[in-house]
Structure 1
Amino acid sequence: MIKLHKWRRILALIVVFAIALTSSAIFSPRMEAQTPPTNPTTELRGIWLTNIDSDVIFSRNNIIDAVNRLDKLNFNTIYPTVWQGGYTIHPSAVAKRVFGYLNDPTPALKGRDVLKEIITAAHQKGIAVIPWFEFGFMAPADSELARLHPDWLAKRRDGSTIWKEGVNDRVWLSPFHPEVQKFIQELAIELVANYDLDGIQFDDHFGLPSEFGYEPLTVLMYQKDIKARPSNDFRETFWVRWRADRINDFMGRLFRAIKSRKQKCIVSLSPNPLHFALPAHLQDWFSWERRGYIEELIVQVYRSDIKRFNVELEREEVKLAKGHIPTAIGILTGLKNNSIPLQQIQEQVQEVRKRNFAGVSFFFYESLSNWANETPEQRNLALQELFPTKMQRPPSEGRI
C-alpha cells in the first residue's frame, strides 16, 4: 500500500505537470504574440523614486527639481514609493484606522501630500506617475502595524517571525489572512480613488518568503483544503504550489477591484526573475501575466555580468510575457555603497533594445548621478545619449 506522503508526491508531480502545460495556454484572445516593430514609436523610460538614501521627496522644491531634470533627460514614467517602512508616504485614512498614523511621521513630510505634489509636477511635463507599493506584505518588526496586529504576522515552522534584511529586522504580513488582504486592497483602492494616478505598481515584496506560512490560520486553511498537515519542508513542491495559488487568487481579486474602481489604472508589477520569485517568495507572476492580472511587467534584472543579464532576458516566460503585455527590464544604476559603471548601464540598455522589449526602468533616482565614479555631468550626458528625444511610454490601455 502506497503511503500518504508518496501519494502527495505523485499529486504534486501531476500539479506541476498541469501548470507546465497551461503556462503556454491562451487565456485571452488578445494574448497572441506579435512581432514588435523594428523602429518602435514608444519606449518605457522609468525611474523608481524612494525615500531611502534620497532627499527628493523631503521638500516640494526637490520634487520640482527632480521632475524638471527627468523631463530634460526624456524620462516618461516615475514610480514613487507610497508604502515603505511601515507607513504610507501619502495621507491615508486606511492607515490611520488600522495602525494610527495618517502617513510617515518624518517631520519633513508632516502636513504634506507628497504623492499629490509628484503627480502635479510630473503631469505638467507629460510624465506618467505610477505609485509603487515598495514594502508589499513586509513591515518593520518594531512598526505600529506589527505591534497592533501580531495575529497578522507570518510565521516559520518554529514560530519565529523575524526576517533579516541587512541589519534591519522585518516581519511579513500573512498574505493568506483575510484581514491582511482587506488592508492591502483598501490601501490600493484608496490610492486609485483619491489620486489622478496613471497606474499602481507592486513588486517582489508582493509575496512571502517560502520559509513562512506556518501560522495557525494558514495551517488550518491547508488542512481543510488538503486533509493533511503542511510539509515540514517549506520547499516541498505541493506546499509551495498551494501557497502560491492562494496568493494568485488574491492578486486576481485585487486586480478586479482596482479595475472596477478605475478602468484606466494600469496594474504594474516589478518582480524578480520567475526561477527565484516562485520557489523563494511564492510569487507566481507568470500565472498573473497569463491570466491578465497585470498589464505592465518590469522584471528586475540586477546583474553585473552581461552574460547572466542576457540569460534572464532570454527566458521563455519573459519572451511569452513580452508578446502579451508591455514588458520592460529593471536595471540597477547604483546604490549608496555600490557604484555601477556607465558602460554597464549603457550595455544593458543596448541588450534590452536589441530584443525589442518595451523599455527600461532604473533603480533608482539618486544613483543616476550620485555615488558614481563618473562626474554628474558625465552621467547626465550619457543619459541624454541613451534618450536623445522624447518618446511616449507604451499604450496605457489594452495589450500588445
Structure 2
Amino acid sequence: MAAAADAAEVPPPPREFRGVWIATVANIDWPSRPGLTAEQQKQELLALLDRAAELRLNAVIFQVRPMADALYESALEPWSEFLTGRMGQSPGYDPLAFAITAAHARGLELHAWFNPYRARHPSSRSPISDKHLIRRRPEWIKTYGTHQWMNPTHPEVAAHTLAVIRDVVRRYDIDGVHIDDYFYPYRERGPDGQLLLFPDEDTWQKYRQAGGTLGRDDWRRAAINAFVRDLYREVKALKPWVKVGISPFGIWRPNHPPGITGLDAFAELYADARLWFQEGWCDYLAPQLYWPIAQPRQSFPKLLAWWAEQNTQRRHLWPGLYTSRVRERPSENGPKGWPAQEIAEQIALIRQQRGASGAIHFSIKALRDNPDRLADHLHRLYAEAALVPAIDWSAPPLPLGLTQLPPPRCQLLRQQQPPVLRIDPPRDTRFLVLRHRTARGWTTRLLPPPSEPQQPLHLPLEGEAAPAVAVLDRFGRLSPFVLPE
C-alpha cells in the first residue's frame, strides 16, 4: 500500500470554479474565420486551451450548437457554417471530441454550450442545409427581426432540443451541459421603429382552443420553465455527474434588489431564472453580471448578493464576468471599456460573497489578447491551481463502510531511468491530482487517467521528487492524498 500516513499533511487544493466561454457563433472566439483547414482549426483551439491552462483556469464552456447546427458529428442537425463557411459541410474531424480530449489533457473540464431556440443568426451567410430545421420543420420557425427562432411554445421544439442534448450527453465525455441567456429573443424593432411582437399566435390560439387558462406571458414562461426542468431531469437520468449550468441575464426583474433598473428578463425573455435556482433545476447558475462595481443602477455587488440570497437549494453560484470589456487604455473619451483592475475587484467581491464559489469569463478572446495586462491580474488572483467545486447532491453514496473515496495505488519504479511513478486509479476517476511541496508552497497538477479503463498511468519523474497523489471523481469528490511506495 502507498504510504497514506506520510501524506496526511498534504493540504487539499482550494476549490473555485474558474471558467471561460469559447463562443463559436459568428466566429467570436473560434475558429478565427470559417474555412480554415482542420489542422489550422485544431492549432487555434489548442492555443486557446493552452492559454486557459496557463492562467490556471479549470473549465471551458465550448459552444457546440449556435443556431440549430452542430460543431460535432450529428445525425440530428447539420454541421455549423462557422467551421467551413458552408452549413452542412464536414470540417474533416469532430471538433467537440477533439476539444474534450485536449481540455482533459490540460486538467480542464469541458462543458458543452447549447443555444436552445435560435435557428439562424444575422451573421449567417451560407445557404441553408436541407438537414436544417428551417427546411425540415418550417412550422417550428419564426422570423423575428434579424433572427430566425424556434417557437418555444411549440411542443415539438422542446422535444427536439432535448433530443439533441441527450445525444451529446450519451456519446461524448463532457463534464457539463450549459445554456445561455437566449430563451425568447431579446426584443427588436422594425424599420418603422415599432417594437416587434414575437409571432407565436398559432400556438397561442391552439392553447386557448384546447381550454388553456394561463395569460399569454405566463403561458410563455411555463413553456420555458418546463424545458429547463426537463433538461435537468433528463441529463441527470443519463449521467448524474454531468453538471447542468444556466447563464441568464443578470437582472431577474427591475427593483430586485431595490434600486436596480434594466431589462426585465422575467417579462421580456420569459426567463424565470430565480425559480430555476430555487427549484434546484441546475447545478450552477451563472447570471451575467456585466456591469461595473460603481454603476449604482446595475450594481455588481448588490446583484451578486441578491442572487446569493436566492440560492435556497445550495447549488453553485458562478457569475458571468464581462471580461471582454477590458480595454488597453480605457478612457471617458474613447471606446467604452474597463481597466483590468475592474475584473480583479469583481473576483475579489465574489470570493467575499457567501454562497458564491467562482466565476466565468466572457470570453476567451480577452484572455488571449491580454488588454491592459489582464493576464498579470489573473496570474496573481489564480496563483494557486483550484479544483472545481463538487456536486455532492448528484453523487451516489460511497460504498458501504467508506467515508472517503479510495485513493489510487502508487508505486515508484526506481529501477527505471528516469524513475517512473506508476499510478493505478480507481474506476470513474476524472482527474489525477498531483501535489508537490516547493519553497513557495504547494503546486497542483491535474492529469486525466489512462484512456483504457483499469490501466495504470506511468509518469516519468525526470529528477522531480515524487508527488503526493489523489483522485478526483466525476462528481468532484477528492480522495485522500497518498505517497508512492
Which TM class, normalised by the smaller chain length? 0.7 to 0.9
Matched AA of 1:398: W
1:160-218 superposed Cα distances (whole Å, 9 cap, x missing partner) = x323xxxxx21221112122112101110011011000110011113455842633123
Q: Does 1:173 align with 2:150?
A: yes
Does 2:390 match 1:395? yes
Aligned partners of 2:392, 2:82: CA distance in 1, in Å? 36
CA distance in 1 between counterparts of 2:110 and 2:370 reads 26
Is 2:318 the partner of 1:341?
no
Contact 1:332 1:340 in 2 (8 A): no
Please list, as runs of the form range in 1=range in 2, the aligned pairs for 1:252-267 lying within 5 A after superposition. Answer: 252-267=229-244
| Contact in 2 for aligned 1:208/1:282 (Cα 8 Å) | no
What fraction of aligned residue pairs are identical, expressed as a percent?
24
Give the Cα–Cα distance (whole angstroms) in 2 for the partners of residues 286 and 314 of structure 1.
13
Instruction: Provide the TM-score with structure 2 as the length reference.
Output: 0.63
Specify the code of the residue in structure 2 equivalent to 1:348.
Q
Q: 1:332 aligns with which of 283, 302, 322?
A: 322
Aligned to 2:277: 289
Report how far residue 130 of structure 1 moved: 0.6
Query: Of 14, 29, 37, which aligns to 1:41?
Result: 14
The Cα offsets for residues 58-111 of structure 1, whole Å up to 9 and x where unpaired, read as: 62122222222211211011000001144211121111xxxxx24446338611
**What amino acid is aligned across from residue 310 of structure 1 in structure 2?**
P
Deviation of 1:355 (Å)? 0.9
1:132 alignment partner in structure 2? 113
Task: Measure the CA separation in 1 of the matches of 2:59 and 2:205.
Answer: 41
The residue number in structure 2 matching 1:217 is 203
1:224: how far off? 2.3
**For 2:318, what is the secondary structure of its paired residue?**
strand
In 2, distance between residues paired with 1:361 and 1:50?
13
Given that 1:204 and 1:270 are in contact with CA atoms closer than 8 Å, whether structure 2 keeps it comes out as: yes
**Relative to structure 1, is the Cα distance of residues 328 and 87 closer, same or farther in structure 2, using a 3 angstrom cutoff?**
same
Paired residue for 1:363? 362
Q: TM-score, normalised by structure 1?
A: 0.75
Does 1:194 pair with 2:171? Answer: yes
Larger relative contact order (C-alpha < 8 A, sep ≥ 6)? Answer: 1
Cα deviations by residue, 1:296-347 (Å, 9 ceiling, x for unpaired): 11110101353421221132x5422276101111001116976442011112
Which position in structure 1 is the counterpart of 2:160? 183
Spell out structure 1 runs of 4+ moving beyond 6 A: none
Give the AA of the match of 2:266: L
Task: Write out per-residue CA displacement over residues 248-291 of structure 1, whole angstroms, 9 at most, x where no aligned residue.
Answer: 12222222222211121111111113113211101112222222
Q: 1:351 aligns with which of 324, 344, 349?
A: 349
In 2, distance between residues paired with 1:265 and 1:146? Answer: 30
2:51 paired residue among 64, 69, 80? 69
Comparing 186-195 with 211-220, which one deviates more in the overlay?
211-220
Instruction: Give, in whole Å, the separation in 1 of the partners of 2:104 and 2:340.
Output: 29
Q: Distance in 2 between matches of 1:298 and 1:323?
A: 15
Distance (Å, rounded) in 2 between the aligned partners of 1:305 and 1:214: 38
Pair 284,174 (structure 1): closer, same or farther in 2 beyond 3 Å: same
For 1:247 and 1:119, how far apart are their aligned partners in 2? 29
Cα offset for 1:152?
0.6
One-letter amino acid matched to 2:55: L
Provide the rounded CA distance (Å) in 2 between the counterparts of 1:253 and 1:79.
21
Equivalent AA in structure 2 for residue 206 of structure 1: F
Compute the RMSD of aligned alpha carbons.
2.7
Note the C-alpha offset of 1:353: 1.5
Partner AA of 1:77 in structure 2:
A
Partner of 2:252: 274
Larger radius of gyration: 2
Tell me, yes or no, if the aligned pair for 1:56 and 1:66 is still in contact at 8 Å: no
- Mapping of 1:314-333 within 5 angstroms? 314-315=305-306, 317-321=307-311, 324-333=314-323
Normalized per residue, the structure richer in helix is 1
**Corresponding letter in the other structure for 2:41:** S
Structure 1 CA distance for aligned equivalents of residues 29 and 230 of structure 2 = 34
The reply on whether 1:313 has 2:304 as its aligned counterpart is yes
**Judging changes above 3 Å, is the alpha-carbon distance between structure 1 residues 256 and 219 closer, same or farther for their aligned structure 2 residues?**
same
Q: Pairwise mapping of residues 61-140 of structure 1 onto structure 2 (< 5 A)?
A: 61-95=43-77, 101-104=78-81, 106-107=83-84, 110-133=91-114, 135-140=115-120
Write out per-residue CA displacement over residues 19-40 of structure 1, whole angstroms, 9 at most, x where no aligned residue. xxxxxxxxxxxxxxxxxxxx99
Ranges in structure 2 where 5+ consecutive residues have no aligned partner? 1-11, 33-39, 188-196, 254-263, 328-334, 396-485
Distance 2:106 2:381 in 1: 19
Are 2:303 and 1:304 aligned? no
